[in-house]
Structure 1
């Protein structure tokens, strides 16, 4: 009887491990809470939000300055700093058009970051 219980326990253990490993992790939840922490008033679209967030992450990686990272995300990416990051990262014009659409979706309103002339 004891041997049978051990076998059943081992089988259940081996079956449940892959199931738990396949469950989604809290990474999406943390990004979604970041959406609300930034006071975004639009629609949470994971793909759009991740792309905007990636711009600020790349800008941070370039300068390694936490204030730039924070300022880039300020007001849900609606700041001149986000525009400055787009410039220094040499984001092409067609990509900027997509990002402006993404900003309208996550902000729920037109964006106002100032790109200025690109050099």
Structure 2
């Protein structure tokens, strides 16, 4: 378990450095659209409550797995399009392609 925590810490640090240099977009709940009942503006694709909820649950499960404060936000960044979201899918033993496709539907 300590090995996993160390690896996650390294991944978080690397992602933070990469995202800072790329103008990392912070998930801001104040930028939510009224048309979609909670989906942030950064998600410019088709609003689908069922897909959004499934993706949101993956990030919640990932946070529960690692209990690191920034995991949930990093997982959700770029409308579930970040490499961290994919890392969460791997950690949770989820079928990556299925969920990446879902993220593309709401994030275009």
TM band (smaller chain):
0.5 to 0.7
Normalised by the length of structure 1, the TM-score is 0.56
Residue 105 of structure 1 pairs with residue 105 of structure 2: yes
C-alpha displacement of 1:33:
4.7
Secondary structure in structure 1 of the residue aligned to 2:39: helix
Normalised by the length of structure 2, the TM-score is 0.62
CA displacement 1:5-38 (0-9 Å, x = unmatched): xxxxxxxxxxxxxxxxxxxxxxxx99x454125x
Q: Where in structure 1 are there 5+ consecutive unaligned residues? A: 1-28, 109-119
Cα separation, 2, equivalents of 1:103 and 1:77: 6
CA displacement 1:38-95 (0-9 Å, x = unmatched): x111011011111111110000011111211110001101111001001111113xxx
Q: What is the aligned partner in structure 1 of residue 91 from structure 2?
A: 88
Number of residue equivalences? 75
Q: What is the aligned partner in structure 1 of residue 77 from structure 2?
A: 74
Cα separation, 2, equivalents of 1:51 and 1:76: 13
Q: Please tell me whether Structure 1 or Structure 2 has the larger radius of gyration of its CA atoms.
A: 1
Q: Where in structure 2 are there 5+ consecutive unaligned residues? A: 1-32
Residue 64 of structure 1 pairs with residue 67 of structure 2: yes
> Where in structure 1 do 4 or more consecutive aligned residues deviate above 2 Å?
none
Q: How does 1:1-119 map to 2 (within 5 A)?
A: 32-36=36-40, 39-92=42-95, 96-108=96-108
